[in-house]
Amino acid sequence: MSALSSQEPSPKRRIGAEKSETRALIVDVTEQVIREEGYAAASTRRVALRAGLNPSLVHYYFPSTDDLLLAVFERGAAQSDAMIAAALASNEPVRALWQFFRDDSRTALSVEFIALAIRRPAIREQISAHASAMRAQQIALFERVLGERLAQATGCSPAGLSVILAGVGRALFMEAALGVTSGHDEAIQCVEKWLDALIPSP
């Protein structure tokens, strides 16, 4: 790795060879900075310092701070997509999706990206496009798996259920990150009662 901290980017031929490794290191360090200090701390200069790289090398891969932040978002979105795809492919996709919504492993990062998206249009577009695509996929699943039973049992449409499950799941992990858990067990019981009524036990 010592070549990476040299004053100038390596010659073209070597950059090609090192590209994925250096790029991945930069994205790793940026994610760490966002988690520990917040998105506002994630400048190319700060990331270069923490990664022990020359700022010009970070700039070579990520010309702007938005490029850097987007790379972290895109890697996280790809991880979410893979988790959702696994949930959708499981024997109990609706319950698996609900577990995914309740997952708290990415909380701090998600909140940072929402805060960031509210302020920066370039980031907002990517985040909202990704969120809309995920929602469309979930609505299609609820239509396919729950069908008519959903409206009969709850009075909710597939689209409404999708917003409700995502919202309740997100509330559980955002509040837990703040140390607020009052009512959480009861909300989970309540959602699971609906799901039990909707989905015959296997």
- Which of 147, 159, 84, 69 is closest to 114 using CA atoms? 69
Helix (H) or strand (E) holding 158: helix 158-178
Q: Which of residues 132-151 bind a copy of itself (CB under 8 A)?
A: 132, 135-136, 139
Q: Which of 53, 156, 170 is nearest to 100 (CA)?
A: 170
* Span near a copy of itself by CB under 8 A; candidates 14-22, 48-56, 58-66, 164-172: 164-172
Which residue of 25, 57, 87, 172 would you call a contact of a copy of itself, by CB under 8 A?
A: 172
Site for a copy of itself in 77-116 (CB under 8 A): 107-108, 111-112, 114-116
Kindly report the three-state secondary structure assignment for every residue of 37-93: HCHHHCCHHHHHHHHCCCHHHHHHHCCCHHHHHHHHHHHHHHHHHHHHHHHHHCCCH
Answer for which of 96, 145, 156, 195 binds a copy of itself (CB under 8 A) is 156
From the list 2-10, 44-52, 59-67, 131-139, the region that binds a copy of itself by CB under 8 A is: 131-139
Considering the rule CB under 8 A, would residue 122 count as an interface residue with a copy of itself? no
- The distance of closest approach from Cβ of residue 171 to a copy of itself in the complex, given in angstroms and rounded to an integer, is 3
Rounded to a whole number, what is the distance in angstroms from the first to the last CA of the chain? 52
Could you give the CA distance from residue 123 to residue 126 in angstroms, rounded to a whole number? 5
If the CB atoms of residues 37 and 74 are measured against a copy of itself, the closer one turns out to be 37
- Amino acid identity of residue 48, one-letter, is A
Q: Which is nearer to a copy of itself, 26 or 172 (CB)?
A: 172
Task: Determine the Cα–Cα distance for residues 9 and 32; give it in Å rounded to an integer.
Answer: 23
Instruction: Tell me which of 15, 104, 184, 199 binds a copy of itself, using CB under 8 A.
Output: 184
Backbone angles phi, psi at 102, to 5 degrees: -80, -15
**Stretch 30-59: interaction string toward a copy of itself, x if CB under 8 A:** ------xxxxxx------------------
Q: Which run of H or of E encompasses 99? A: helix 93-102
Give the nearer residue to a copy of itself in terms of CB position, either 15 or 131: 131
55 and 41 in contact (C-beta within 8 Å)?
no
Nearest Cα residue to 33 out of 17, 20, 49: 49
Query: Could you list the residues that contact a copy of itself (CB under 8 A)?
Result: 36-41, 107-108, 111-112, 114-119, 124-125, 127-128, 131-132, 135-136, 139, 154-157, 159-164, 166-172, 174-175, 177-180, 182-184, 186-191, 193-194
